[in-house]
Structure formats: structure tokens, C-alpha cells
Structure 1
Amino acid sequence: MAKDDFNSITGLPEELGIDEDLGRTEQRLRVRIEKRRYDKPVTIVEGFDTDSVDLKELASELKRKMATGGTIQDEAIELQGNHRERVGEVLREKGYAIE
């Protein structure tokens, strides 16, 4: 849904930034663990609407809060290690819905 659509539906001024909050709640993210080389766990967060989310900025914030490395691959954030619980908490605090 485009920004103009949110503003026309809510009737609120664009300056309030409500469109970003609504955009987050519309997305259903999945957080899963995948085993990689040498049985190392990788936390994968996927399901982003890349039009409304700055993946680079969000990945940077998650890496900083988890104190780990990571990258963006195929519109998903990958973090080194098993951070499923903590990543879910951080994303919920930011207003995302987790499946």
C-alpha cells in the first residue's frame, strides 16, 4: 500500500508519520534458524516489504543489538548465531508482527 493510500484512509496529516507504523503492522515477518557450514546457526528474518523498510538500516540495528555479524541476502536479514527470541522481541517493540 502506498503512502498516499494510508493518509487518505486515516485522514491524518502526513507529518505524523502514521504511514510508517501502519506499514509495519501490515507486514508478517518470519524468524527462523538455519544450520550452515560446520553446523553453525544463522538467524534469518524474512517477509519484509522492501518498499517501506530500509533493510540496511534495520539490519545494522539488529546486528548492533545482538552484538553479532550479519548481512542482507535476497530481501532477508541474516544474523550469525541463534538469536530467534531476542530478534522477535526487538522487532515487536518496533511494531512488526511476527509469525
Structure 2
Amino acid sequence: MRICPKCGLPLEACICKELEKEKEKITISSVKRSYGKIVTVIEGIKADTKEIAKKLKKQLACGGTVKENVIELQGDHKKKAKEILVKLGFKEENISIV
């Protein structure tokens, strides 16, 4: 049985990731890149950004990448990305669209 280093509980009962999700302040914004392409930028997610980016890309049917814990999605997906993040367990009050 493996133990969580933060809380000391078994990994099956650990709630550290859920607590981290509740505390994070997430910002969603759009940036215009070269050739007039729009990129949706999601900042402030600390826990497992690659897995969250994978889920977002699949549900939004778009490409994207993770650079230094910042998720970049191809296209303007601000509102839909917020809805998906709420479904993934992030608090709606902690997500702001700029």
C-alpha cells in the first residue's frame, strides 16, 4: 500500500488533489497569434496539466499544447473550456475569463 507524502493517508483515500483544485485561481484568455490565429490560454492549473489538457483537447476537438504549466488550445474556446473545467471538479468562482 502506497502512502501520500502530503497527508499521510493511503493513496486510495487521499484527497490532496481535490483540495488543490478548490484553491486554484484559473484564468482563461484569448491571444491572437501569427496569421490571425486565435489561441485560448489557460493559466493557474497546478495539478496534472498534461492530463487536463488532453481531456480539454478531446472534448473541444482541437489541438493544443502545455508549456510551463500553461495550457494553449487552438481556437477561441473560452466559455466551453470553463464549462469543462467545472465538470472536471474546479470551482466556478475560481475560474475567470479575461
Structure 1 and Structure 2 fold alike (TM over 0.5): yes
Equivalent residue, structure 1, for 2:87: 93
Q: Equivalent of 1:43, from 40, 43, 47?
A: 40
1:43 and 1:70 map into 2 onto residues whose CA distance is 9
Structure 1 residue 80 corresponds to structure 2 residue 74: yes
Percent identity of paired positions between Structure 1 and Structure 2: 38
Show structure 1 runs of 5+ residues with no match: none
Residues 40-85 of structure 1 deviation map (CA, whole Å, 9 limit, x = unaligned)? 1100000122xxx111111111100000000012220000000000
2:34 and 2:58 map into 1 onto residues whose CA distance is 23
TM-score by length of 1: 0.79
Structure 1 residue 3 corresponds to structure 2 residue 2: no
User: Which of structure 1's runs of 4+ aligned residues deviate more than 4 A?
Assistant: none
TM-score by length of 2: 0.80
Aligned length: 89
1:14 and 1:79 map into 2 onto residues whose CA distance is 31
Structure 1 residue 18 corresponds to structure 2 residue 15: yes
- Measured on the aligned residues, the alpha-carbon RMSD in Å equals 1.9
